[in-house]
């Protein structure tokens, strides 16, 4: 559970958020900068997706070592209960 923040922390966060919103407005109004940011977002999202897959593989291996059932279904398995055949 999150701890309540102090009034000073709330003020600092609001000021930081205001700066973030102002910078976002500057970026949105500069076509070149916005396009570069969108291109970077696609690259970063792809990198995050790959890291996520790598972590999932490692978690599955760790569960296997620990004797725990996998939390994710085997992508190559066939679910006979929900099969159309």
Residue pLDDT, tens place only, 9-49:
999 999 999 999 999 999 999 999 999 999 999 999 999 99
Share of the chain above pLDDT 70, in %: 80
Whole-model pTM: value is 0.59
Bigger pLDDT: 78 vs 42: 42
Share of the chain above pLDDT 90, in %: 75
Confidence tier at 85 by pLDDT (50, 70, 90) = very low
Residues 6+ apart with CB under 8 A from 34: 27, 28
Lookup: tokens for 53: 């897959």
Q: Give the 3-state secondary structure percentages of the chain, helix then strand then coil, rounded to 5.
A: 70, 0, 30
Phi/psi zone of residue 75: left (φ > 0), alpha (ψ -120 to 50 degrees), beta?
alpha
SS3 80: coil
């Amino acid at each position: 559970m999150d701890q309540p923040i102090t009034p000073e922390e709330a003020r600092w966060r609001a000021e930081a958020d205001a700066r973030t919103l102002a910078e976002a407005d500057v970026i949105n109004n500069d076509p070149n900068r916005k396009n570069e940011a969108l291109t970077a977002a696609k690259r970063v999202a792809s990198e995050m997706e790959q890291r996520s897959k790598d972590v999932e593989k490692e978690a599955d291996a760790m569960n296997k070592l620990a004797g725990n059932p996998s939390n994710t279904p085997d992508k190559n398995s066939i679910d006979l209960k929900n099969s159309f055949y």
